[in-house]
Amino acid sequence: MSDKISGLFASMKISSTGLAAQRRRMNIIAENLANTNTTKTDEGGPYKRKIVRFYELMKKATAHKPVGARDLPLAATARGHIHSDLEIPYSTKFSGVRMDAVRDTAEPERVYDPTHPDADEFGYVAMPKIDVIVEMVEMISASRSYEANVSAINAAKDMARKALEI
């Protein structure tokens, strides 16, 4: 994301990071739902549910010094020092969201099913610990958040159009 992108276009970029994060979250949910009965994976053992985490995207303020601040030969070597980039430009203060997924560490559920090919000697099968209802709730939440980001983009579009009419 470039710092040169001004005002409303930066808003659209931020909302698009939100859209991307929610869409990827939807993919993860779909993966969890598709694997509710998967007992064999490449890593061995049953499928482990993926959990989505969101992070605030924040660019390093020092990487984008405002115009003019660059010439100040100030070195901040201690916490109390005044930094040369006194004023952080707005565009670096917000830059959206990013997400990643981690594996659930919960122990798999043990279901008694002696006829299952992956059953152990006692007849128990290690099944993924996935609650379909929890996934459904996550799905609705992702869908709602996606819509909220779409609304924000649409508003930015309309505002940009109105500004062009001046």
Partner 1 sequence: MLKEILFDATRLPLLAKGLDAYALRHRAISDNIANSETVGYNRRVIEFEERLRLAKGAGGLQRTHEGHLGSGGVDPTSLDPHVVTDADKSDINDLNNVDIDREMADLAENHLQFNFASRLAKLYFELIQSSIRGA
Helix (H) or strand (E) holding 76: none
Q: Taking the CB of residue 118, how many other CB atoms lie within 10 A of it?
A: 13
- Closer of 8 and 126 to partner 1 (Cβ): 8
Closest distance of CB 67 from partner 1, Å: 15
Residue 94 touching partner 1 (CB under 8 A): yes
Task: Please select the residue that binds partner 1; options are 10, 28, 127, 130, rule is CB under 8 A.
Answer: 10
Residue 119 or 155: the one with the smaller Cβ distance to partner 1 is 155
To which H or E segment does residue 54 belong?
strand 50-56
Structure-token pair, residue 103: 């594996």
Q: Which of 23, 40, 53, 70 binds partner 1 (CB under 8 A)?
A: 53
Closest CA to 130 of 30, 23, 53, 26: 30
Note whether 28 binds partner 1 by CB under 8 A. Answer: no
Q: Are 19 and 149 in contact (CB under 8 A)?
A: yes
By CB under 8 A, the residues from 58 to 87 that bind partner 1 are none
Nearer to partner 1, 4 or 162 (CB): 162
- Report d(CA 139, CA 88) in Å as an integer: 37
# residues near partner 1 by CB under 8 A: 35
Residues 6+ apart with CB under 8 A from 72: 84
| Residues at the contact surface with partner 1, assessed by CB under 8 A | 7-8, 10-12, 14-15, 17-18, 21, 53-56, 90, 93-97, 141, 144-145, 148-149, 151-152, 155-156, 158-159, 162-163, 165-166
